[in-house]
Structure 1
Amino acid sequence: MPGRGFGALAGIRVLDLTAVLMGPFCTQILADHGAEVIKVESPEGDTTRQLPVSRAPGLGAMFYNLNRGKRGLALDLKRSEARAALLRLAESADVFIHAMRSDAIARLGLTYADIAAVNPRIVYANVYGFSRRGPYAKGPAYDDTIQAMSGMAALQGRMLGAPSYSATLVADKVSGLTALYAVLMALLHRARTGEGQEIEVAMFETMANFVLTDHINGALFDPPEGEPVYSRAASPNRRPYRTSDGWVAALIYTDKHWRAFLDVAGQPAWAKDPRFATLKDRAKVIDEVYARIGETLVTRSTAEWLDAFARAEIPAAPVNETSALLRDPHLEAVGFFTAQETPLGTVRFPGMPAWFSRTPGQITNPAPALGADGRAVLAEGGFTEAEIDALRASGALVLPEAS
């Protein structure tokens, strides 16, 4: 894997001390685009190794996907020998990324100051729940709690009648993407100036920004012109519409969409109601608009509405289960899934959403077993066989039994 010659990030080396989802999602994308990502785990390993479903101990499906393309190194960083080994590896790294709270990383002696002392060109990324500059700095953070604190769960409650979490781990993934672009911007700055730097990505601040991008609404102004809620997005009637035999998603939004809908729905009288005349007017009574559309759509089948909406150029789609993605004709046509023969048998990895004409990414190996590449990574970092054996004997380095 060293010197991987594909992707926009070929030649970039990453020391990845993250676990669970936020950080590993960021570094998965780095690996998919050619970076050499060394996943540094404790002797116990990333907790997602144990999540079902799994075909082998320590290689759960989520872990196997999130950590694809990475190399495995297991160190007990509470031991001074392991810390010293990691600092030696950091000398030739481009990125150091961790997901520990500031007091925990300080106890290990692996702060930005510690890493920059051996490599001032390093891009050092802190990714965790709350900025260390605020009063929540030492608080625990998980996707559910961050959805709650950021207002997202309450916004869902406006639609569903009680606060609710998204059915996907949106706070972790949005924060992981934020960490990704932060790292890439810091690497761009280094390419231009030669300067490394420290960056911080906090889940709470990330999700506050994410939620308020649209929901800041009237609270943007001082004094406020209304509450920080985008009413259309949070309407309890904004949901897939029931049809006579199922469900359909339709966005009857612009004035053009509205006029076309009145034609296909056979509701010309609505065009005379001044409350519905323009998008601005309809936004003021959005709940009634959604309710009336819902009462109309239940009169025909899903197929009938999809056909009518297609002819009228109204955005509409079927309501798929996630299983439908596995056989979606569009995803099949663009080669979205990558099938691979692995030690666990055939696996099918979800693909990369970005396409590059000159530097395409690539899904390489699946996630490593705990510490699987430790001997090779250290040897490439200049460690002798005797030094590696001594690290293992001390308990600082964990290697697979056969190594």
Structure 2
Amino acid sequence: MSGRGAGPLAGVTVLDLTSVLMGPYATQIFADLGADVVKIESPSGDTTRYIPPGPDADRGAMFLNVNRGKRSLGLNLKTEEARAALLRLAAKADVFVHTMRSQAIARLGLDYAALKAANPRIIYCNMYGYGRKGPYRDHPAYDDIVQAASGIVDLQASLSGGEPTYVANVIADKVAGLTGAYAVMAALYAREKTGEGQEIEVPMFETMVSFCATEHLCGSLFDPPLGPPHYPRATSEARRPYRTADGYVGVMIYNDKHWRNFFRELGDPDWSKDPIFQSMRTRTENIGTVLSRVAEVLETRRTAEWLDIFRRAEIPATAIASLTELLDDEHLREVGFWERRVTPMGTLRFPGIPTSFSETPGAIGDPGPALGADNDALLREAGYTDTEIDKLRSKGAITG
């Protein structure tokens, strides 16, 4: 398989009992970095398979991308034979990841105790909506639900006239997926030192509250609070791309040097002497007024003129790019970010691996596999004979 075994995680085997986006995104990172990721699916398959577009009704674009580089094993885990097969695979695996609620995975007899009995060195990662020790533990959760529960939607309302809105990105799933990825890698590192496996819990709700609180906790870090939990610069209605004379531009005039350079380019106008512009503290305390003044000034010139000025002033600035434009962005083209590949699904354009390693670079694997495409090969690797595999198939334990 293209990509598998190339990268810093080469030699690591991951059993991936995840679906939708959070878990598959985490395990996509493992596959990109060289791990052998075995995607274990129910007879109906991961629901993401069926999200269009795509020429194959069972493998849409999102599925093909987020499950790239993985092998597929179709198991009906409601049968004892399939459960036994998974535990047999686990005996040789390094990592087991699932995205089922704690009660559901326990009902299948696949909790940490069961996997640890099969392999004491295994890293067992639970990824679900809410931590299992709290009263929300059995609540179902998807990205929209966790955005609403974690404060993100309320924060967005401050930028949309008080109307609650979702971020136009499946941010909770992906942040939790990244968190799961680094947690598993940290556990693998710990195992190298101690020889011991362990159980990890990555709840979306707690992960996203932590993510939001990083900058927004602000005055509520203190007890008693010194102010409400929101970062004024991020929640200011004036914080938005600036309108220019012919379009929009993204600008971040942030530190004292930026502001000095900005005022110098404008000829140090009288309003720049206002004390509110003199320090990070005064600008933050008056952020709405500060950003509104910048907005007024930027409307007086064209986008290209402003970009030239900001380059000279060493102020971070950019034109507003669409995803369509990024498909042919000169920087992404030069660094080889987009990877085109001719596959049985047609010519696909994968987004590249954003990290690079000087000695152990990763590689993008083949598109997300057909359901059960690797059943026989994986079961043979686990020690099953062809006769035993046929018996599993006749009992409905394996599918696809």
SS of the counterpart of 2:230? coil
2:172 pairs with 1:187: no
CA distance in 2, matches of 1:260, 1:314: 8
Deviation, structure 1 residue 148: 1.0
* 1:151-199 CA distance string (max 9 Å, x none): 1111111111112111111100000000000100111111111100000
The aligned residue for residue 68 of structure 1 is 68
CA distance in 2, matches of 1:254, 1:298: 22
Whether the 8 Å contact between 2:2 and 2:365 is mirrored in structure 1 is: no
The aligned residue for residue 375 of structure 2 is 374
The aligned residue for residue 128 of structure 1 is 128
The aligned residue for residue 349 of structure 1 is 350
CA distance in 2, matches of 1:39, 1:80: 19
Whether the 8 Å contact between 1:218 and 1:228 is mirrored in structure 2 is: yes
The aligned residue for residue 10 of structure 1 is 10
The letter of the residue matching 1:137 is: R
The letter of the residue matching 2:265 is: V
The aligned residue for residue 259 of structure 2 is 258
The aligned residue for residue 302 of structure 2 is 301
The aligned residue for residue 50 of structure 2 is 50
* 1:85-121 CA distance string (max 9 Å, x none): 1111111010010000010001100000011111111
* 1:338-386 CA distance string (max 9 Å, x none): 1111111110100111100000000121110010001110011100001
Whether the 8 Å contact between 1:262 and 1:270 is mirrored in structure 2 is: no
Whether the 8 Å contact between 2:3 and 2:34 is mirrored in structure 1 is: no
The aligned residue for residue 171 of structure 1 is 172
Whether the 8 Å contact between 2:219 and 2:225 is mirrored in structure 1 is: yes
CA distance in 2, matches of 1:223, 1:4: 53
Whether the 8 Å contact between 1:15 and 1:96 is mirrored in structure 2 is: yes
The aligned residue for residue 277 of structure 1 is 278
5+ residue gaps, structure 2, are none
Whether the 8 Å contact between 1:4 and 1:11 is mirrored in structure 2 is: no
CA distance in 1, matches of 2:169, 2:369: 25
Map 1:310-349 to 2 at 5 A.
Answer: 310-349=311-350
CA distance in 1, matches of 2:102, 2:33: 29
CA distance in 2, matches of 1:313, 1:57: 49
* 1:110-135 CA distance string (max 9 Å, x none): 00001111111100000000000111
Deviation, structure 1 residue 3: 11
SS of the counterpart of 1:330? helix
Deviation, structure 1 residue 274: 1.7
The aligned residue for residue 90 of structure 2 is 90
Q: What TM-score do you get using the length of structure 2 for normalisation? A: 0.98
The aligned residue for residue 230 of structure 2 is 229
Higher relative contact order by CA 8 Å / sep ≥ 6: 1 or 2?
Answer: 2
Deviation, structure 1 residue 252: 1.3
CA distance in 2, matches of 1:254, 1:170: 28
5+ residue gaps, structure 1, are none
The 3 A distance-change label for structure 1 pair 207 and 191 is: same
CA distance in 1, matches of 2:141, 2:94: 27
Percent of paired sites with the same residue: 59
The aligned residue for residue 290 of structure 1 is 291
The aligned residue for residue 390 of structure 1 is 391
The letter of the residue matching 2:232 is: S
The letter of the residue matching 2:138 is: K
CA distance in 2, matches of 1:244, 1:313: 22
CA distance in 2, matches of 1:380, 1:107: 27
The aligned residue for residue 111 of structure 1 is 111
CA distance in 2, matches of 1:272, 1:322: 40
Q: What TM-score do you get using the length of structure 1 for normalisation? A: 0.97
Residue-pair matches, total: 399
